[in-house]
Structure 1
């Protein structure tokens, strides 16, 4: 049976929190059998994640499937779910996150409506919420002043995104065929590949719909979480890897026909390069600044116009100030942005 939507849940030693994620999807979608949940056990060995995944499949065989694979990292687990999806649409939900019941119910009804009309909407965008568990605060990211509400539109219809408002993986529900045809290169054993997922497929999305509901609840606060500041600093090489994939995906100014999408993608790529610059400065790796310079040199050789925009625009200049004083100013600016936006 063709499903309306597949929810992919990558799990790696997720036993302590995966049940909450799965239950939130089941309850929010009313245990509907046109919904599919694919739990991808990404080679978990430290807890009973594999057994839990199998138990969920036995309990709801019409809805839930468990897939076990050798450890390949977050991107490999996401793409395993995409390859096996029976849904017309696909949404990834990480195992330590969850969905809001009313909002995901509204999303499901809208997707059923599109399918019933025979309308191939390529991308449905919804809001997400940073759930800061340590201080019990929330930060909602919505797009109601950026995107048209209540109608199908194209990239040419969107407005200007603020720096904290970019379209992260949490906001995206893709048509499965778009994801499969996008040629996503999600490098194995690499964190932060969600940036690739929220970048490479966009030019293939010809029709878009914004549903103004807060579907995704993004957990912030676990010490071993990939967006934890210390963890991210220790994995700056993962961001270098991600930046290279995004860099070589497009010659943005030549390949992207929509002027507004071109501007959005260049701005987003600029932020990724800025992250590389900031965390290279924060890193204790002796080769960090040399590797950062190699990354900038590679971009310059690949596409000089992209290089000029990313390196010599306001963001690039602010995050690459020279010398000891420049480094201190760059890091002070990062800390201020961190407190303002509370993104980790």
Structure 2
């Protein structure tokens, strides 16, 4: 069995996928790299096949009809043979020194007597035109040891464990029934939300591992693009609302964290709907909150009672103006603009 499986979802990625793949190759025989060609129309499939031929036993090319980012991740999970699983988007890459440290630690833990469910490391915003790179750390978590949710520190508003940060135990993803929706952007939020109640043990290493490239005009976190795909953001939001009865999550810290995560996703949906400025999208905003209310009246009031929840639903133009004040927080979470 491989120690770590990487899944690289690729769609028309010929311009940048090789940088991503090359950054993962130093893992050698400890890793498998699944290049998932999601129905590309450029040279992505050709590049993937060439890498598989050059690195047999390490790289596998998977070709499928276009199903979107989520279906590419699903394909990665279905085909993974590694003990642990990590998604790396095709325009991102990893830092070599941090990579080696993480592999050493995963190797050590896998030979120990405790099962590790989630490994967390830092990610860095590689934003075009910005010299100072923003590093996203989890300073509230114990470092360099296995711990449980009870030992985790308080997550403040705007502090979230994103897909870029996490490596999961592969079997946990299968056992919790994670299945991401097809043809939907922003499914990375489901990816780091749905498995959480199944996570019993965590490990945080304070190294700048994942390099998250941001700045392409067509990127899914570009505000203009987000507004054009708002129906997909709402779909993800509703899937997260439906995923759990959060009141029944037994661990208080985990429950609090999941409430906060759901709140910020709802805030992002709401702000994008407001900023679009159309009556149609303001109606979608009302419909989203109605959906939450009908699904779980306690959740509805909990979200509204939150600092952000209150600003999202103030009436009239003045209320909408105040709502956009929460925009800076959502920017921190998704990193756009």
3-state SS of paired residue (2:211):
strand
Match of 1:210 in 2: 204
Q: Please tell me whether the aligned partners of residues 268 and 330 of structure 2 are also in contact (alpha carbons under 8 angstroms).
A: no
Aligned pair 1:130/2:145, yes or no?
no
Q: Please tell me whether the aligned partners of residues 89 and 175 of structure 1 are also in contact (alpha carbons under 8 angstroms).
A: yes
Q: Which stretch shows the higher mean deviation, 293-302 or 243-252?
A: 293-302
Q: Please tell me whether the aligned partners of residues 36 and 64 of structure 2 are also in contact (alpha carbons under 8 angstroms).
A: yes
Match of 2:180 in 1: 186
Structure 1: distance between partners of 2:89 and 2:154? 28
Aligned pair 1:34/2:30, yes or no?
yes
Q: Please tell me whether the aligned partners of residues 131 and 137 of structure 1 are also in contact (alpha carbons under 8 angstroms).
A: no
The structural deviation recorded for 1:137 is 3.0
After superposition, where does 1:262-341 map in structure 2 within 5 Å?
262-283=255-276, 285-334=278-327, 336-337=328-329
Q: Please tell me whether the aligned partners of residues 9 and 69 of structure 2 are also in contact (alpha carbons under 8 angstroms).
A: yes
TM-score by length of 1: 0.94
Aligned pair 1:259/2:273, yes or no?
no
The structural deviation recorded for 1:148 is 0.8
Q: Which stretch shows the higher mean deviation, 112-121 or 5-14?
A: 112-121
Match of 1:164 in 2: 158
Q: Which stretch shows the higher mean deviation, 283-292 or 163-172?
A: 283-292
Q: Please tell me whether the aligned partners of residues 277 and 320 of structure 1 are also in contact (alpha carbons under 8 angstroms).
A: no
Q: Please tell me whether the aligned partners of residues 7 and 36 of structure 1 are also in contact (alpha carbons under 8 angstroms).
A: yes
Aligned pair 1:55/2:54, yes or no?
no
Q: Which stretch shows the higher mean deviation, 310-319 or 75-84?
A: 310-319
The structural deviation recorded for 1:80 is 0.4
CA RMSD of aligned residues (A): 1.5
Q: Which stretch shows the higher mean deviation, 16-25 or 316-325?
A: 316-325
Query: Cα distance 1:292–1:340, how it changes in 2: closer, same or farther (>3 A)?
Result: closer
Please, which of 85, 94, 109 is the counterpart of residue 99 of structure 1? 94
Match of 1:116 in 2: 111
